[in-house]
Amino acid sequence: MTVTITAFDRSPDGGKGLARDMRVRWALEEVGQAYEVRLVSTPALKEAAHLARHPFGQIPTCADGDLALFESGAIVLHLAERHAGLLPGEPRARARAICWLFAALNTVEPPVLELSAARLLERDRPWSAERLPLVEERVRGRLRPLSARLGGADWLDGAFSVGDLMMVSVLLRLRASGLLDEFRNLAAYVARGEARPAYQRAFAAQRAVNGRS
Amino acid sequence: MTVTITAFDRSPDGGKGLARDMRVRWALEEVGQAYEVRLVSTPALKEAAHLARHPFGQIPTCADGDLALFESGAIVLHLAERHAGLLPGEPRARARAICWLFAALNTVEPPVLELSAARLLERDRPWSAERLPLVEERVRGRLRPLSARLGGADWLDGAFSVGDLMMVSVLLRLRASGLLDEFRNLAAYVARGEARPAYQRAFAAQRAVNGRS
């Protein structure tokens, strides 16, 4: 069964692994599923052929046999359910891992995205300097309880799971802001995620496409 | 099997049905699962007993038999998988419904939340009037392709699904901004969701707790 994903032909981050195809590549590497990548140019994202695959004209999408998926969260969950390696077998632990996946995407990522917008899209606006601390504090409002819950553990709930994969992916977007370094256990948690061989393989694969040197 | 959810004892919206317990109540009503509600005060949200249930000190949580869940997206998906009524049986359509659930939470909701913050938390800031159109335009950037994809259909992909339940719930948060009315088919889509008997029962139940009169 061939799995084919879509990714930017030229990622806006220049190969730092922050585009959302990285989350799917990482999951595919964790479960040991080979995949092909179809690169899409920025103009082609908004054309009918791609909009049929992704209604919002984004990447990634994933074709897995006769299933056509969009949204990195849905794709990663699908892979975790279909293959061993990203979800515990015990039902209660399995349910909690999926809760963490949603927490990464719907509780932690919204303020992280808002901070990215403030730092990048609004950096030259007159309010930028005065407003930034406000947005940073919204992000800390998520990092504090996350740091408290993680404590000294390696992963959020026992063994590495799809919840950690997504949480690390979301937290990575904070590195440039310096906020991550305010929470030493979270910085170490993210580094632990990046050190996984599957992450390294996925990172190298997207870097080979996007790296600007 | 008893299902118990948590909700605000006094919702910040005063009973407009915008708190996230409404999404779970609606799903429970759609699948015909009776439930109990434990109300949590705002200070108690950040106490150890509740943080054990929800690491970010939020509502809702859901106890279903021996499963303890947090995050409205995870709870609604769990209910959809466990009961009939919110996911199609055909595998490809089922997968797409789950993609729409994630799209509602991770593609549409982040700019919607940013707009809420701009309109409520930052309304008295000096940049408020100049910045608001920028944030509104970010929301329109999601509503335009969503409106184009929905077209004249009743629901996003065939029969009403968990994807529609979550998308309608997210879009409802836009009503006060007036943005929803710029897209007539989306406004009608939301009204169609609200007209469902299950929505009405869920709305009345949260209103009975939160209504200020």
* ipTM metric: 0.97
Residue for token digits 């897209």? B183
Same domain, B100 and B155: yes
pLDDT by residue (tens digit) across A167-206?
999 999 999 999 999 999 999 999 999 999 999 999 999 9
Q: What are phi and psi of A37, to 5 degrees?
A: -125, 130
Q: Chain B residue with minimal CA distance to A163? A: B74
Inspect the interface and report whether the beta carbons of B107 and A58 lie closer than 8 Å: yes
Residues B68 and B110 in one domain: no
pLDDT on residue A124? 96
Tens-digit pLDDT profile for residues A155-173:
999 999 999 999 999 999 9
Is A105's Cβ below 8 Å from some Cβ in B? yes
Q: One-letter amino acid identity for B197?
A: P
Residues A77 and A154 in one domain: no
Same domain, B98 and B153: yes
Q: What per-residue confidence (pLDDT) applies to A211?
A: 75
* Same structural domain, A101 and A189: yes
pLDDT tens-digit profile, chain B (213 residues): 789 999 999 998 889 999 999 999 999 999 999 999 999 999 999 999 999 999 999 999 999 999 999 999 999 999 999 999 999 999 999 999 999 999 999 999 999 999 999 999 999 999 999 999 999 999 999 999 999 999 999 999 999 999 999 999 999 999 999 999 999 999 999 999 999 999 999 999 999 998 765
- CA distance to partner chain B, nearest, from residue A58 (Å): 10
Provide the residue range defining the domain that includes A167: 91-196
What total of structural domains would you count in chain B?
A: 2
Burial classification of residue A201, based on how many CB atoms lie within 10 Å of its CB (0-12 exposed, 13-18 middle, 19 or more buried): middle
- Interchain pair A99, B142: CB under 8 A: no
Say whether both B59 and B137 belong to one domain: no
The partner residue sitting opposite B110, judged by closest CB among A91, A109, A148, is A109
**Is residue B213 assigned to a domain?**
no
Spatial distance between the Cα atoms of A95 and A84, rounded to a whole number of angstroms: 15
Alpha carbon separation from B41 to A60, A74, B75, B192 (Å, rounded): 40, 33, 21, 32
The answer to whether residues A56 and A111 belong to one domain is: no
Same domain, B121 and B77: no
Find all residues with CB under 8 Å of A156, minimum gap 6, and list them: A100, A149, A150, A163, A164, A167
Classify residue B150 by burial, with Cβ atoms within 10 Å: 0-12, 13-18, 19+.
buried
Asked if residue B78 lies in contact with residue A97, where contact means CB atoms within 8 angstroms, the answer is no
What does each C-alpha distance from A110 to B87, B110, B208 come to in angstroms? 26, 5, 30
Residue B75 belongs to a domain with what CATH number?
A: 3.40.30.10
B88 near B98, Cβ under 8 Å?
no
Same domain, B107 and B133: yes
Of B56, B69, B126, nearest to A95 by CB-CB distance is: B69
Token representation of residue B10? 């006094």
A15 lies in the same domain as A104: no
Residues A103 and A178 in one domain: yes
Handedness of CA A114, A86, A62, A74 (dihedral sign): negative
- B193: which 2 tokens? 């969701």
Query: Do B203 and B192 belong together in one domain?
Result: no
Region of residue A163 (phi > 0: left; psi between -120 and 50: alpha; otherwise: beta)? alpha
CATH number of the domain residue B171 falls in: 1.20.1050.10
Q: Which of A155, A134, A110 is nearest to B131 (CA)?
A: A134
